[in-house]
Amino acid sequence: MQKRMLGKSGLEVSAVGLGCMGLSYGYGPATEKADAITLIRSAFDQGVTFFDTAEAYAQGANEELLGEALAPFRDQVVIATKFGFEGGDVQKGVNSKPDNIRAVTNAALKRLRTDRIDLLYQHRVDPDVPMEDVAGAVKDLIQEGKVKHFGMSEAGVESIRRAHAVQPVAALQSEYSLWWREPEKAILPLLEELGIGFVPFSPLGKGFLTGAIDAKTGFDKSDFRNIVPRFSEDNRKANQALVDVLKQIAASLNATPAQVALAWLLAQKPWIAPIPGTTKLHRLKENVGGAAIELTPANLGDIDAQLSHIRVQGERYPAHLQARVGR
């Protein structure tokens, strides 16, 4: 597994990380603890050194899982977590008040069984707390040695600039993939300008780009995708065209659609490190394999040409969640 630097921060991570949310939250019932620990440790064995969690993923349970799984090799990995929701509950709205940031960080350190958090993200921008106060609070934690690097998630251009002026932002984590390329307009140029790394979440389109989901797929009642407009039955049927093209391109490269989707992201910028999530060992191995595929300029041109005429149908968030991003 190749390593990458997240911008100018000096933070080195594996080219492909592991998003751990789905092991505890968001995509149906939580994975059995023993199976989840096996998967996380298998990722490490395959060269993954970048692991992502958050207080809001089952209100700390995901952090506890990660802390136990990574304890044997804590010093060889980069752990990223996030603050920013009231009581770690997405339903209760955002809270990035400095005293909450400190309380959440101290609790996360205990759950993660560590003395420092390598990368601490603000999960969503809080419109009621000045960005300077948020960055200042994290700066204090960095000076105390409890946090190594500051990150933001789904933040807009102005918020990133304001935060970066107080405490350099090491990485932005936002959605980016072959079916959500909005960051290319304003976010990627800004990150390049400021020397900030980019960590795409949902790099496989919440599973859709793997080719394993179609219009007939049923989701567990607790699966977040049930409320995502892009995953309505009609939109999945319409968006199948993108996956069909991806399958053809992957076949020509002796790869899978997921591997091509990840390789495409890695080819965009040398400071991009996607964090696909999975609960399945065979998918983990497949995703890790995506880092070994090098797409040529001709490959990339072919992908852009073939996908340029396909318009993805459906919003990526329902309206109440869309209001929290890009601030």
Report, as residue numbers or ranges, the catalytic residues: 57
Cα separation, 245 vs 122, in Å, equals: 36
Q: Of 120, 41, 125, which Cα lies nearest the Cα of 80?
A: 120
Q: What CA–CA distance (Å, rounded) separates 310 from 305? A: 10
State the DSSP code for 164.
H
Helix segments in 10-149, DSSP class H: 33-45, 61-70, 98-111, 131-143
Residue 301 phi/psi, 5° resolution? -65, -40
- On whether the CB atoms of residues 59 and 67 are closer than 8 A, the answer is no
CA distances, 60 to each of 49, 54, 78, 105, 274 (Å): 21, 7, 18, 11, 22
Radius of gyration of the chain (CA): 19
- The number of beta carbons lying within 10 Å of the beta carbon of residue 52 is 25
Beta bridge partners of 166: none
Distance of CA 77 to the CA centre of its chain: 16
What's the burial of 10, exposed, middle or buried (CB within 10 Å: 0-12/13-18/19+)? exposed
C-alpha span between 187 and 198 (Å, rounded): 9
